[in-house]
């Protein structure tokens, strides 16, 4: 076989790979999840990438990151920095107990028609976007100009074919300083939420952990939960495993090896809180640390 034929076969094999294999996963990963002593600090990296916890795609924006102290009061991030592929920040753990660090993204997007022309709602403002052909996502020379996206409130009364989707996404991590506490796990009753039966700071190899997932404050039965260990860069596959919640919303997960694990679940339903939307997409992501016994 010639070198040219080898290249053709390689290219064909790459084209045959499923699209999901190149999906980018967003994550936050702390340098540790369990700390002892007073006035400890945790450092968190945040990005989206092909290989979990290896920054190779985009840095996460930090303007939506919030911190909750063990008593439920709001904390803050410090020493924040955003580079090309990764953001990083610190949180001072100056109170004993379990801290929550995370983001809550809520939006409504979709389309409608006005005088036969399709218009966009939400999304990237200004009409530009990735793949439009110009620098910074702006349309290239000769590209058709698109009308800027509008808000839900600005949809005209005479609009037709209104198709809107409400999106609620959470990405959270839990850090324990000295002792566990439950305050930060109180559900809000909106979207998918995480309520551990097994504490996130008690995860060890060889012991099954139980986590409950809620939708609008109620146990979510039949929810598919994907668990992926870090270190894909050094394996032939990503090691993803799928689990399903029971009638009580609880899923049991075992841990074959120590390390950081990415946990994700999602659901689409027809129960949006936005009156003009007909669909709701929800997601929940967390990163947990599993230690040796």
| pLDDT tens per residue, range 80-113 | 999 999 999 999 999 999 999 999 999 999 999 9
Please tell me the least confidently modeled range out of 127-136, 157-166, 245-254. Answer: 127-136
Evaluate whether residue 99 is within a structural domain: yes
CATH of the domain at 48: 2.60.40.1930
Task: Give me the number of domains the chain comprises.
Answer: 1
Evaluate whether residue 257 is within a structural domain: yes
Q: Which pLDDT tens digit goes with each residue over 181-197?
A: 888 999 999 999 999 99
Evaluate whether residue 122 is within a structural domain: no
Res 17 pLDDT > 90: no
Mean pLDDT of 230-236: 87
Mean pLDDT of 135-142: 42
Residue with the larger pLDDT of the pair 43 and 135: 43
CA trace torsion 218, 197, 27, 277 (10° rounding): 0
Range of the domain at 213: 22-106+166-290
Evaluate whether residue 146 is within a structural domain: no
Question: Has this prediction a pTM greater than 0.75?
Answer: yes
Evaluate whether residue 161 is within a structural domain: no
Mean pLDDT of 32-55: 92
Evaluate whether residue 32 is within a structural domain: yes
Q: How confident is the model at residue 76 (pLDDT cuts 50, 70, 90)?
A: very high
Where are the strands (E) in the chain, listed by range? 25-30, 34-35, 40-49, 58-59, 66-68, 78-82, 87-93, 97-114, 117-121, 160-177, 192-196, 209-215, 218-219, 224-229, 241-244, 250-253, 259-269, 279-290
Q: Which residues pair with 92 in a beta bridge?
A: 41
Evaluate whether residue 182 is within a structural domain: yes
Q: How confident is the model at residue 148 (pLDDT cuts 50, 70, 90)?
A: confident
Evaluate whether residue 228 is within a structural domain: yes
Residue with the larger pLDDT of the pair 241 and 138: 241
pLDDT of residue 150: 87
Q: What is the mean pLDDT of the chain?
A: 86
Please tell me the least confidently modeled range out of 133-147, 229-243, 279-293. Answer: 133-147
pLDDT of residue 132: 30
What residues have CB less than 8 Å from 4, skipping those under 6 apart?
none
Q: Which pLDDT tens digit goes with each residue over 255-281?
A: 999 999 999 999 999 999 999 999 999
């Amino acid at each position: 076989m010639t070198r040219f034929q080898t290249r053709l076969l390689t290219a064909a094999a790459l084209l045959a790979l499923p699209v999901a294999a190149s999906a980018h996963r967003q994550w936050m990963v702390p340098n540790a999840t369990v700390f002892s002593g007073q006035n400890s600090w945790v450092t968190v990296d945040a990005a989206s990438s092909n290989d979990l916890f290896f920054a190779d795609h985009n840095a996460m924006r930090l303007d939506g990151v919030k911190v909750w102290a063990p008593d439920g009061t709001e904390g803050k991030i410090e020493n924040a920095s955003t580079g090309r592929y990764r953001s990083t920040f610190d949180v001072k753990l100056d109170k004993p107990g379990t801290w929550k660090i995370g983001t809550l993204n809520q939006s409504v997007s979709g389309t409608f028609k006005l005088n036969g022309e399709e218009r966009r709602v939400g999304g990237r403002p200004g009409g530009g976007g990735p793949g439009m052909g110009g620098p910074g996502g702006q349309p290239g020379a000769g590209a058709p100009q698109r009308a800027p996206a509008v808000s839900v409130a600005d949809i005209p009364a005479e609009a037709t074919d209104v198709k809107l989707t409400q999106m609620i996404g959470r990405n959270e991590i839990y850090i324990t300083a000295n002792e566990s506490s439950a305050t930060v796990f109180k559900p809000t009753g909106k979207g998918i939420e995480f309520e551990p039966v097994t504490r996130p700071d008690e995860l060890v190899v060889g012991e099954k952990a139980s986590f409950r997932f809620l939708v609008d404050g109620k146990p979510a039965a039949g929810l598919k939960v994907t668990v992926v260990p870090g270190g894909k860069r050094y394996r032939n596959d990503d090691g993803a495993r799928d689990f399903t919640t029971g009638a009580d919303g609880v899923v049991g997960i075992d841990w074959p090896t120590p390390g950081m694990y990415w946990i994700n679940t999602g659901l689409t339903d027809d129960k949006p809180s936005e009156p003009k939307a007909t669909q709701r997409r929800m997601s929940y992501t967390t990163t947990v640390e599993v230690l040796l016994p």
